[in-house]
Amino acid sequence: MPAIYTTEWYEAIKKLLNENPKVDKNSPRGTFHVLAKIVGDARSPYLPAGELRNFVVLFTDGKCLEYRQADAPPPRKDFEFIFELPASVFEEVAAEQIDLIDAGLKGKIKITGDMRILIRHAELVNEIYGAFAREVETLWPKGKPGAAGGAAGPAGH
């Protein structure tokens, strides 16, 4: 059970994506780059206010070739989509405390890119969300989001 924001966690998600036939079926052919910018905030026990994590996700012909954290922010022009969201929202989505689509519709997630492409590949978005929110067992060393009092422990899902 890997802890959130670790290389093992990213690799577990990548493995689940590549083992899921719905991801392959619903992925666009060719190369598809996504950047997720997770911005630290006061509500997150994992990413303090002022810190930033950049996640690069690369799909090629239905396979996830990369799901990794980038040390430096990559050039925005390299990505079809950029998702920017507070760390607390990302963590609540990963812990299944809030719904990814609902968070996006309520403006908690800033999305840059061609929305027509995103809508056309809505099933892919759902499968990616399912991989990191429902399928990967996440260790929450500083407490699972939404847990009463944020009690620490290996609360997974």
pLDDT, tens only, 38-74: 999 999 999 999 999 999 999 899 899 999 999 888 8
pLDDT at 150 over 50: no
Amino acid symbol at 83: F
Instruction: Specify the pairing of strand 63-70 against strand 52-60.
Output: antiparallel
Is 93 a member of any domain?
A: yes
Write out the residue range of the structural domain in which residue 72 sits: 7-139
**Residue 76 phi, psi (nearest 5):** -60, -35
pLDDT on residue 147? 54
Instruction: Specify the pairing of strand 81-86 against strand 31-39.
Output: parallel
Is 146 a member of any domain?
A: no
Q: Is the pTM of this model over 0.75?
A: yes
> Could you tell me which residues come within 8 angstroms of residue 122 by beta carbon, excluding any fewer than 6 positions away?
none
Is 48 a member of any domain?
A: yes
3-class DSSP assignment, residue 151: coil
CATH number of the domain at 105, please: 3.30.1050.10
Is 149 a member of any domain?
A: no
Is 154 a member of any domain?
A: no
Is 147 a member of any domain?
A: no
Domain count, the chain: 1
Is 148 a member of any domain?
A: no
**pLDDT, mean of residues 94-100:** 89
Instruction: Convert the pLDDT of each residue in 137-149 to its tens digit.
Output: 899 999 998 754 4
